[in-house]
Amino acid sequence: MRFMILFALVAMSTVSLAWTNDATGEMLQARYQYAACNVDYAEEWLSMREGCGHRNNATVFDSSEYVEDLREDLDDIKEAADEEDQFEFGVSMFQYGGNSLRLLGAVVTDAFDHKNMHFFSCVRDDEKPLMDELDECKHRAMEMERTASKKYVGNEIEYAKDQIDELDSLGADTTGMDEVVSEADVLVDDIDPAFDTDEAGQVRELHLRHSRLVLLFRMQKMLATIDYARPLIEESTNTNKEEILEEMDALEEDIEETLSECEYSAVVEDKGEYGMQNFECWNDSIYLFQDFNSIKLMILEGIFS
Amino acid sequence: MNNKLMLLLVLGVSLVLFGCAKPAGESNLPPTGEIGAADEVPPATDTPETEEPIETPEVEETPEDEPEAPVAEPETPEIEEPEEVPEETEPVTEVDEEALADLFQVDTDKPLEDEGYDVETPSAQE
C-alpha cells in the first residue's frame, strides 16, 4: 500500500513537472495551414479535372468521397492544433497523409480509364494557375513555420541550458549535453537558409536533424546524471543500493550503445534513411527513458522502506 | 604570539649586543626618522653618562609597533582548515537522496516530427 502511494506521488510529480514548449501551438497552426493548402488545392484541382472531362468527352471518377475524407482529416488537424494536442495532431496528420495517398492512387488509376489527349492537355493548362496559388499558400504557411520554428527551438535550447546549469551546479560533467546544445545553435542558424529556399525538402531536413538532437540531448543528460549519482548512491545507506547501481550500469551500457548507433550528422544525405534511423533510435530510446525515470522510484523506495 | 615575542626578543637582544659592542658615539641603528636624529646626539663625549640609557629605550619602542600586523595574521587560517574536511566525506543523507532521486527525470514524449511536409498533391504528372 505504501509503495502504491509512493508510486502515485512520483507519477503525479512527473506529470505536473512535464515541460511544454510555448511555441507548440504556433508550430501546429503553421503545419495545419500547410495541410490546408494541399487540401484546398486538391479539391479545386479535382473540380477542374472534372470540367476538362466534360468538355473533352472523357469520363472522370467521382472524387467527392475522397475530398470529404480529406476535409474531415483537416478538421481534426485544426482541432488538435487549437487544443495544442500534439498526439492527436500526429494521429490526424497520419490519417490525412494516408487519405492523400489514397486519392493520388485513385487519380493515377483513373488516368488510364478512357482518357484522350485533349483531356490531358486541358488539365495541364488549367492546373497552372492552381499550382501558383498552391505555391503562394505554401509559402505563407512556411513563413509562419519559419517564425514558429525559431521560437520552438529557442525555447528548447533555453530549457536544455537550464538542465545543464542544474547538473553543472552540482558538479556533474555536462560536456556531452553542451556539445548537443552547440549543434542545436548551428541548427538555429540553418533555419533561415532552409526556409529561404521555399522547398519543403529543405525544411524537412531541419525537422530530421532537430528530432535527432532532442533524442541525443536526453541521452547525454541521462549519462551525466548516472555518472554524477553513482558515487553518491555507493556511499548511501539506501536499501535498494545494489539494485540501483546494477540498473544504472546496465542503462549506461545501453545508452552508450544507442549513442553510437544514433550518431548525429548535420548533413542529411538521404532523408528517407535519416528518417528511418530517427524512427528506430526513438523506438529504442523510449524504453531507456522509462528505465531511467524508474530509478527515481527505486531510490525513493529504498529511502522509505 | 610566540613568533611575535621571539621577534621582539631578537630585536631587543641585537640592539643591546650591537649597542654594547660599538664604541660610544657610533650609531648601531638604521638611519631613519627619530632614530637618525638621535644619532646626532652621542658624539658629545662630554655629556653625562646618564643621558645615554634614556635615549635607547625610545629606539626599542619603534620596532615593537611595526611588526605586529604581519606576524599575527597567518596564524588564524591554520586553525580553521582542518574543521571543513570531515564534512565532505559524510555519507549522503536521506534528504540528499530525495533530491538525487528528482534528478532521474527525463521527458519521454517525442518532439514535433515532420508530418505533412511530404504529402503528395495530385497534378498532371499522373
Check CB contact of A120 with chain B, cutoff 8 Å. yes
Give chain A's mean pLDDT: 92
Chain B residues at the A interface, defined by Cβ less than 8 Å, are 91-92, 94, 96-98, 100-124, 126
- Å from B84 to nearest chain A CA? 18
Each residue's pLDDT tens digit, A8-29: 555 555 544 578 899 999 999 9
Q: Do B101 and A134 lie within an 8 Å CB cutoff?
A: no
Residue A67 scores a pLDDT above 60 = yes
Chain B contacts of A84, Cβ < 8 Å? none
Whether residue A111 and residue B126 make contact (CB cut-off 8 A), yes or no, is: yes
* Closest by Cβ to B107, choosing from A19, A123, A124: A19
Stretch B68-89: mean pLDDT: 51
| Top-confidence residue, B116 or A145 | A145
Q: Name the band, by pLDDT with cuts 50, 70 and 90, for residue B22.
A: very low
Nearest to B3 by CA among B67, B61, B79: B67
pLDDT in tens, A46-65: 999 999 999 998 999 999 99
3-state SS string over chain A?
A: CHHHHHHHHHHHHHHHHCCCCCCHHHHHHHHHHHHHHHHHHHHHHHHHHHHHHHHCCCCCCCCHHHHHHHHHHHHHHHHHHHCCCHHHHHHHHHHHHHHHHHHHHHHHHHHCCCCCHHHHHHHHHHHHHHHHHHHHHHHHHHHHHHHHHHHHHHHHHHHHHHHHHHHHHHCCCCHHHHHHHHHHHHHHHHHHHHHHCCCHHHHHHHHHHHHHHHHHHHHHHHHHHHHHHHHHHHHCCCCCHHHHHHHHHHHHHHHHHHHHHCCCCCCCCCHHHHHHHHHHHHHHHHHHHHHHHHHHHHHHHHHHC
The percentage of chain A sitting over the pLDDT mark of 90, rounded to a whole number, equals: 87
Q: Give B109's pLDDT tier (boundaries 50, 70, 90).
A: confident
- Can you tell me the distance from the alpha carbon of A175 to that of A179, in angstroms, rounded to the nearest whole number? 6
Are B123 and A111 an interchain contact pair (Cβ–Cβ within 8 Å)?
Answer: no
Question: Are A131 and B106 in contact (CB < 8 Å)?
Answer: no
* Contact yes or no for B115 and A97 at CB 8 A: yes
pLDDT tens figures, A251-283? 999 999 999 999 999 999 999 999 999 999 999
Tell me: pLDDT of A109 over 80.
yes
pLDDT of residue B52: 44
B88, B96, B119: best to mutate for the A interface, most A CBs within 10 A: B119
Chain A positions in Cβ-Cβ contact with residue B99 (cut-off 8 Å): none
Cα distance between residue A19 and residue A156, in whole Å: 10
Query: pLDDT tens, A280-303?
Result: 999 999 999 999 999 999 999 998
pLDDT at B120: 61
Residue B111 pLDDT exceeds 60: yes
Would you place residue A304 in the very low, low, confident or very high pLDDT band (cuts 50, 70, 90)? Answer: confident
Q: Which residues of B touch A275 (CB under 8 A)?
A: 114
Q: Using 50, 70 and 90 to split pLDDT, how confident is the model at A142? A: very high
Q: Is the pLDDT of residue B4 over 90?
A: no
pLDDT at A80 over 60: yes
Tell me which range, B32-41, B71-80, B108-117, is most confidently predicted by mean pLDDT.
B108-117
Closest chain B C-alpha to A197 CA, distance in angstroms = 14
A-chain residues within 8 Å CB-CB of B122?
42, 45-46, 103-104, 107
Report the percentage of chain A scoring pLDDT > 70: 94
- Minimal Cα distance from B124: which residue of A? A124
Residue in chain A closest to B111 (alpha carbons) equals A211
Report pLDDT for B96.
83
- Strongest mean pLDDT among A287-301, B1-15, B64-78, B100-114: A287-301
Shortest CA distance from B113: residue in chain A: A207
What is the average pLDDT across A94-119? 92
Lowest mean pLDDT among A1-10, A77-86, A91-100, A109-118: A1-10
Contact B119 A238 (CB under 8 A): no
Residue in chain B closest to A240 (alpha carbons) equals B97
Interchain contact, B123 vs A45, CB within 8 Å: yes
Contact A42 B121 (CB under 8 A): yes
Residue B110 confidence class, pLDDT cut points 50, 70, 90: confident
Residue A218 has pLDDT above 70, yes or no: yes
What pTM does this model have?
A: 0.71
Q: What's the average model confidence in pLDDT over B62-80?
A: 50
